A and B are shown apart, each in its own frame.
Chain A
Amino acid sequence: MDDALVRAGRALRLVLLIVLALLFLIPFYLLIRNALSTEQEITSPAWTFFPTSLHWGNIRELFDDPSVPFARSLLNSALIAVVTTLGTLLLTSLAGYGLARVPYRHADKVFYGILGTLLVPAAVTFVPSFVLVSSLGWISTLRGLIVPTLFPAFACFVFRQYFLGFPRELEDAAQVDGLGPWRTYWRVVVPNSRPVFAAVGTIVFLGAWNAFLWPLVIGQDQSAWTVQVALSSFTTSQVIRLHELFTAATVSILPLLVVFLCFQRWIVAGVERSGID
């Protein structure tokens, strides 16, 4: 009797999971369906499961539309995401290594000073940060969009935790070979720590590409719009061309889906490392 019950339970669970998976995929289906439809097909009261012919021309139309600075905002987003990722990795990994490995009298105080910023909710600081960036004259510049976001305490913390467990023998061997701390770091520590760099890097990249509040506040001119700000201003504007909007949204998440599918294990590792603690 138990056996039948267990099997029935297992089948029920599988059915439930399949239903949930289909529900989770519906938004992606809508995104692609609308991106490849004409305006009439989207707004038609009779639902068509998929457009009868795929309108790839929507993509050209989007990039040709002079009223929408979409190509520029894509480029901005790409630049910001790449520079932010590399800059963050450099700064936070060096700091994490110093905190974990270089003995210093006041290291604890510095560490708690860094940790303390985790208690300050990031979004609450947007008013003060705006104040600072505007007094630096960095409004609507890529500098203003990038530089203030290069110092996430969580990434430094993840690196510190990781380097605390890094095998000391490797560093000692480098010392015997006459390498100083700086060259030991670059030649021995970094090459042996690729997984943690990949994990933090993918998380930072996703966050930079998808960020909205900070780019909205700082990127006030169209020339400094990121893809998210551009999409948002189309969504909340008066005249909305749905097929163009959905094409734009699809184009905006394609780079991320590629990153996501290629680096999923690192993203999972990054979530696990940064989510806990």
Chain B
Amino acid sequence: MVTKDEIMKIAILSKLSVGEDEIDKLTEDMGEIISFAYTINKAADIESDFDNINNLSNVLREDEVVPSMEREQILKNAKDSDDGCFMVKNIMK
């Protein structure tokens, strides 16, 4: 059974915060989902050489420069930017 601590650990790895009020319900839901996922272990162990679905290899690109995009476009969707850079403002100062 999955524990609260395990859920907290994967939440940190996932960069998600879980509130005190959410953790019990989340642990319960995740426990159910994880148990469901675990059912595959009923299947016999098999080795398969599965890599990519159509067995493609060596799909490569030539080393030729294409002009980059205008910086204005690159920064267009950023909430904060300064000096041509994306920015995370220090809101504590």
Note whether A and B form a binding pair.
Answer: no
